[in-house]
Amino acid sequence: METDRPGLITVDAPSEKAATSSTPILRFEDVSKIYPLPAGDVVALDHVSLTVEPGEFIAVMGPSGSGKSTLLNMMGCLDVPTSGKIYLSGQEISRMSDDDLTRLRRDRIGFVFQQFNLIPLLSAVENVEFPLVLTAGREESRQRAIEVLRMMHLDDALFSHRPGELSGGEQQRVAIARALVNDPDLLLCDEPTGNLDSKTGTAIMGILAAENREGKTVIMVTHDPGVAAYARRTIRIVDGRLV
Amino acid sequence: MIFLDLAVRNLKRHKVRSVLATVGIIIGVVAIASLGIMGSSLSVLVGGMVSDVSDTLLVTPHLAISSGDPFDPRNTLAARISGRDLGLIEKAAEQHRVIPMILASDRLQVRDKGGYVALYAMPATEIPFLLEEEAGTYPRAGSSGVMVGSLLADELDLHPGSRIEVGGESVRVAGIAAERGMGIDINPDYALIVTEEWYTERHGDQDYSRVIVKVGDLAEIEEVKVAIDQQVNRRKEVVDVLDSREILEIYYETFDAINIFLIGIGAVSLLVASVSILNVMIISVTERTGEIGLMRSIGARRREVLLMFLYESLILGIAGSLAGGVVSMAIAYSVTTSVAGLFADFAVSGGDGIPVAVVIGYTAFAMAFGTAVSIVAGFYPAWKAARLNPIEALRYE
């Protein structure tokens, strides 16, 4: 499939951006996140510093309540730190406005969730094109969505199905296609296999690993050591600190 | 527009809920439009009766000009408007119709009944203008026929062709005038109407008792009134000019107040409908919190989420307003025909129904109001949706 969109991921060539960029995709500088609660402040992240280079495959592990989700939210520009600085591809995001952060999420980041989180009103292909139609025309968005869905090995007959008519594995493929449709710098996965049986989970991990081999930077949060084994680096977090 | 698309799909997903919210708006729009139309149809139909005489200026001789005691009724009878003054009035009235007339009385004898009767004498050409005929023909200049007021004809059982004795002379009844009711210009229902020629042939040339000026356009009444006053009363008070415009103004003010009150009742029902839209939208936002969180986290901006929900309430409002507008038009049509029938007995001017512009005006107003109210009702839920924190919204079950 050929399109004239620059920098699209393709099956046979690694992303140009990932291959040539020398700046880290993501850099945390002494980042803390404190949630003020009536019972006392909760420190979700405690002076975390880390660097993610292009093309890495990282698993974030840790017990529940350790700050994994907060870390992932910050990586995904969903949240800003109480103190410290976060650079996404060299761009400082901690003081950005809500609209600018939203734009970053739309153009530079792909999210895959444990619950799939597809929009129930939209068909599979419409879910995939959603991030694209926010900026591009419907026609080219549709083309690109179909292209990515085929890369996920989803049967063409399922493209027009609503999420409720798809199996868990199929839904997660659609969700991954949606995450990849904008050719993001960073693919963030929150327990991507948590709601799937082991066979389907293995297939999904195969897709993520393949994406990484193509040059996509992948960061995933998981409990499952078997899933974490797909990653090439593991970050452990306990009580808001990296260990 | 994917957000418009999503709004439509969400409304379709909850058909019953959307239809009920729309029905609320339909009722509100119909209430405003039909109450407004009904109010103004009352105003128009009853107004027809009043404006029949309200376009009239009545010019009467100024009492004081005849020397002597102004309270002596003989002075009133003696006071007249001369032909010269009539000329001045005609000049001042410009294109408006000027009808001079002589008021008199004469002895009437029909079979064995006799008595005095009021007599209106005016130029033959003006009689059809002031009076409608019920039977027979209008009296023609040069003929000896007279016209009999409707009630008088009923009482004396007169028909066209009947013979009556006026002032001892036997004359033929040419026609019967239709009932006219009370007016400020003439009250001919118990009178005889004759041509000016008929009267002067029998009583000699005379000055006029009063002059009626018919001003076609109500807005010009004041102007004409001032013009007559300036022309005729230049040096001394010769005539009094009377118009019923002030009475009419009070009348219109009253009807305007009634109309606003009626529309107010309609507006309340539309406000109730807007609360149901508010309710539906809040439910929709709450139900879709997770979805909103997802959209926000994959790149939908606050403004876009706000728009998506505004579209929903806007669609409800527009759909309700359109349907309400159609229903209102249908009601207005049937009301026009039935009310016109109902009022036909009273409407002397022959109620020509409600002007189309009024119907369209009220319907358009109601539709605009219905749509606006829906947007206002939808704004708070939409704003709430846009302000949701994506992380918390995503976690919401």
Average pLDDT over chain A, rounded to an integer: 87
Q: Please spell the DSSP secondary structure of B127-170, one letter per residue.
A: HHHH--EEEE-PPPTTS--EEE-HHHHHHHT--TT-EEEETTEE
* Chain B residue at shortest CA distance from A127: B295
* Best CA proximity match to B213, nearest among B120, B90, B52, B129: B90
Residue A4 has pLDDT above 60, yes or no: no
Radius of gyration of the CA atoms of chain B, in A: 33
Residue B351 is predicted with a pLDDT of: 43
Q: Cα–Cα distances in Å, from A64 out to A127, B380, B391, B393? A: 30, 36, 17, 20
Rounded to the nearest 5 degrees, what angle is found at the Cα of B364, between the Cα atoms of B363 and B369?
A: 100
Tell if the CB–CB gap between A117 and B394 is shorter than 8 Å.
yes
Burial classification of residue A80, based on how many CB atoms lie within 10 Å of its CB (0-12 exposed, 13-18 middle, 19 or more buried): middle
Residue labelled with tokens 């128009």: B44
Q: How far apart, in whole angstroms, are the C-alpha atoms of residue A162 and residue A154?
A: 14
Please list the residues that pair with A220 across neighbouring strands.
A59, A189
Tell if the CB–CB gap between B394 and A113 is shorter than 8 Å.
yes
- With cut-offs at 50, 70 and 90, classify the pLDDT of residue A143: very high
Please give the backbone phi and psi of residue B56, each rounded to the nearest 5 degrees, phi first. Answer: -105, 135
Q: Determine contact: B296 vs chain A, CB below 8 A.
A: yes
* B51: three-class secondary structure by DSSP: helix
Q: Please spell the DSSP secondary structure of B180-203, one letter per residue.
A: ----SS--GGGEEEEEHHHHHHHH
Residue B247 is predicted with a pLDDT of: 63
Q: Residue A99: list chain B partners with CB under 8 A.
A: 301-303
Half-sphere exposure in the Cβ direction for B47 (13 Å, CA): 21
Average pLDDT over residues A102-117: 92
Q: Determine contact: B123 vs chain A, CB below 8 A.
A: no
Taking the CA of residue A178 and the nearest CA in chain B, the distance in Å comes to 9
* Best CA proximity match to A94, nearest among A35, A187, A27: A27
Residue A15 has pLDDT above 50, yes or no: no
What is the b/e burial string over B182-202, where b = at least 16 CB atoms within 10 angstroms of the residue's CB? ebebbebbebbbbbbbbbeee
pLDDT in tens, chain B (397 residues): 788 888 888 888 889 999 999 999 999 999 988 888 877 777 766 665 555 556 788 888 876 444 455 555 555 556 788 888 888 888 888 888 899 999 888 889 888 888 899 999 999 888 888 888 888 888 888 788 899 998 888 888 888 988 899 988 889 999 998 887 666 678 888 899 999 888 888 888 888 888 888 887 777 888 888 888 888 888 777 788 877 666 667 777 888 888 888 888 888 988 888 898 899 899 999 999 999 999 999 999 999 999 999 999 999 999 999 999 999 888 877 766 666 665 555 444 434 556 777 788 889 999 999 999 999 999 999 999 999 999 999 888 6
Rounded to the nearest 5 degrees, what angle is found at the Cα of A224, between the Cα atoms of A171 and A45?
A: 95
Residues 6+ apart with CB under 8 A from B169: B202
Q: Determine contact: B302 vs chain A, CB below 8 A.
A: yes
Residue B353 is predicted with a pLDDT of: 56
Q: H or E element: which one contains A31?
A: strand A26-35
Residue B343 is predicted with a pLDDT of: 55
Tell if the CB–CB gap between B294 and A117 is shorter than 8 Å.
yes
B36 against A189, higher pLDDT: A189
**Would you say A183 and A9 are in contact if contact means Cβ atoms under 8 Å apart?**
yes
Residue B49 is predicted with a pLDDT of: 58
Q: Determine contact: B16 vs chain A, CB below 8 A.
A: no
Interface of A with B in 19-38 (CB under 8 A): none
Q: Determine contact: B301 vs chain A, CB below 8 A.
A: yes
A9 against A194, higher pLDDT: A194
B141 against A109, higher pLDDT: A109
* Best CA proximity match to B138, nearest among B153, B126, B151, B150: B126
Q: Residue B388: list chain A partners with CB under 8 A.
A: none
How many CB atoms sit inside 10 A of residue A49's CB? 12
Determine how β-strand A241-242 pairs with β-strand B191-195: unpaired
Residue B244 is predicted with a pLDDT of: 66
Residue B281 is predicted with a pLDDT of: 92
Tell if the CB–CB gap between A119 and B296 is shorter than 8 Å.
no
